[in-house]
Amino acid sequence: MIFDVITLFPQMFDALTQYGITRRAAEQGSFVLHTWNPRDFTTDNYRTIDDRPYGGGPGMVMLAEPLAGAISAARQRQAASGVKKSRMVYLSPQGRLLTHAVVKELVAQPEEGLILLAGRYEGVDERLIRQYVDEEISIGDYVLSGGELAAMVLMDSVVRQLPGVLGDAGSAEQDSFVQGLLDCPHYTRPEQFTNSKLFNAEAVPPVLLSGNHAEIQRWRLQQSLGRTWLCRPDLLAVRDLTKEESGLLAAFQDATKNLKS
């Protein structure tokens, strides 16, 4: 997958290319990332990239022309490396919410290049958005100081879904949201906490030590259903449950009621 990012702070993207799973994915060529600094596309001695808003008001607005220069350069580079269509995305709070469905949509078009515009200040000249941007995407109902973190969130969530990126082939399918449910709880050593300053006594759920893989699968599915019911009932409202799932959830709900009463 090919990403080109328009940003005033290219070094921020080292967080993606220098660490963890996304670093390995970049090294093995699962994705390519190029950054373009609009400052390099200015024509004045001061390398100006912003100016005051017409009509007055606080803050500064990013100039359209350096951004257009950077976007055109990114498009040309993508075309030269064989990309048939570049999709131009502006990260902004007024965009479509980034959900797993949107991530899947992006992953399903690996032949498409993505150009991500990370804005700063009060935003960018509206004419640039109208004439260059295919789509706006938001990562949530809050305002960030710039689009860089949002662009990285988008890229991270897309890259981990690309074939061969996660070491354990099953991991991506088990993530929260993939089956329309939250992930189940996870445990590792030690098997038993004894009372201490750090923890109260608590054991790992015995089923996980049973070695019975079918039972473990059923327990995990039940926990996923239960957690989704408790924490994100909106997800259950849009997902049909199988007969087995309905039974598992009913048992979880009963157990929860018994705990409360």
Q: Is the Cβ of residue 138 or residue 224 nearer to ligand ADE in the bound state?
A: 138
Give the Cβ contact number of residue 151 at 10 Å. 29
Q: What are phi and psi of 134, to 5 degrees?
A: -80, -35
Q: Residue 157 interacts with ligand ADE (CB under 6 A)? A: no
Among 38, 66, 147, 226, binds ligand ADE (CB under 6 A): 147
Annotated catalytic residue 175: yes
Annotated catalytic residue, options 65, 93, 156, 220: 93
Three-class HEC string of 133-193: CCEEEECCCCCCCECHHHHHHHHHHHHCCCCCCCCCCCHHHHCCCCCCCCCCCCCCCCCEE
What is the per-residue binding string for ligand ADE in 119-138, x denoting contact by CB under 6 A?
Answer: -------------------x
- Cα–Cα distance, 187 to 91 (Å, whole number): 36
Cα(17)–Cα(197) distance, integer angstroms: 39
> Apex CA 92: angle with CA 67 and CA 90, to 5°?
40
Calpha distance 253→12 (Å, rounded): 45
Closest CB 228 distance from ligand ADE, rounded Å: 24
CB 139 to ligand ADE: min, Å:
4
C-beta separation of 87 from 135 below 8 A: yes
Interaction of residue 150 with ligand ADE, rule CB under 6 A: yes
80 near ligand ADE, judged by CB under 6 A: no
143 in contact with ligand ADE (CB under 6 A)? yes
Contact 146, 117 (CB under 8 A): no
Identify the active-site residue in 112, 122, 136, 183: 122
49 binds ligand ADE (CB under 6 A): no
For the question of residue 65 being annotated catalytic, the response is no
Task: Tokens for 62, please give them.
Answer: 């990013």
Shortest distance, CB of residue 144 to ligand ADE, whole angstroms?
4
Q: Which of 59, 140, 185, 190 binds ligand ADE (CB under 6 A)?
A: 140
Among positions 81-110, residues that touch ligand ADE (CB under 6 A) are 91-93
Catalytic residue numbers read 93, 122, 160, 175
List of residues contacting ligand ADE (CB under 6 A): 91-93, 138-140, 142-144, 147, 150
